[in-house]
Amino acid sequence: MKLPESLFSRMLLAYLPFMVYPYGFFRAGVAALWIVAFLWVTVAFFWFTRRLFPSRSLKPAFFLWLIVWAQAIWTLTKLPPYWIASVYFLAPVSFLEDAAKPSQARVFSKEVPRFQHPSIGAERSLGPSQPPFWEKVKKLGRYFFERVLAGISFAGFVMLLALIREIGEKRLGIHAFEQPVGMWLVIAAVAFLWKNQPYRRRG
């Protein structure tokens, strides 16, 4: 299965397990924060250690990492066992293979550090010169800034939907909000608005 690259689709996928959790606003928020924190740890860990793995075992290592942490945090924090699915869907699909295709790992922009190309001895001296240090830092900062922003927007999205569910169920007494169907309705509305954003002129 090919997972979608765009942030909003991945956020929707990551939200799916939340539909069946019997959580109120507060507990949904806490679960979302756990998920986002773990996503950041994972992305940072694999960004820095990616090239230290044998290239064939990087993906199995990534899945093992997810499975082990799913088990560990499940036993420790009593999160529902599906919490790791949200992390998996939130993680940018191709961030493990970006040495091969650097332009594909993106959240909002196409920019990804290109200096991570594995270059071998002689080619390094022949090829174009390395970008200056400050440029590297700026690009790296941008890369992580996008991941941080993705995490924050997921947490905000979950809390917003939990709030809507709370209001719809408790205050307005709409029975549909007790079931996933109410959340589907809200998500459909959100997706409609997202797709039909008003045209904005540049400049």
Task: Give the binding site for other proteins (CB under 8 A).
Answer: 49, 52-54, 57, 61, 64-65, 68-69, 71-73, 75-76
Q: Which is nearer to other proteins, 66 or 85 (CB)?
A: 66
* Cβ pair 43, 147 in contact under 8 A: yes
Rounded least distance, CB 120 to other proteins, Å: 10
Task: Tell me whether residue 118 or residue 203 sits nearer to other proteins (CB atom).
Answer: 118
Q: What is the C-alpha to C-alpha distance for residues 66 and 15, in angstroms, rounded to an integer?
A: 18
- C-beta of 64: minimal distance to other proteins in Å? 6
> Least distance in Å: CB of 60 to other proteins?
9
Q: How far is the CB of 79 from other proteins (least distance, A)?
A: 12
Closest to other proteins by CB, 44 vs 68, is 68
- What lies within 8 Å, CB to CB, of 155 at 6+ separation is 29, 32, 33, 36
Beta strands per DSSP E along 11-57: none
H-run or E-run covering 75: helix 58-77
Distance of alpha carbon 84 from alpha carbon 202, whole angstroms: 40
CA pair distance 151, 92, nearest whole angstrom: 11
- Nearer to other proteins (CB atom), residue 9 or residue 49: 49
Nearer Cβ to other proteins (52/172)? 52
Burial label, 84 (beta-carbon count in 10 A; 0-12, 13-18, 19+): buried
Instruction: Report d(CA 91, CA 199) in Å as an integer.
Output: 30
Residue 158 beta carbon to other proteins: minimum distance, rounded to whole angstroms: 25
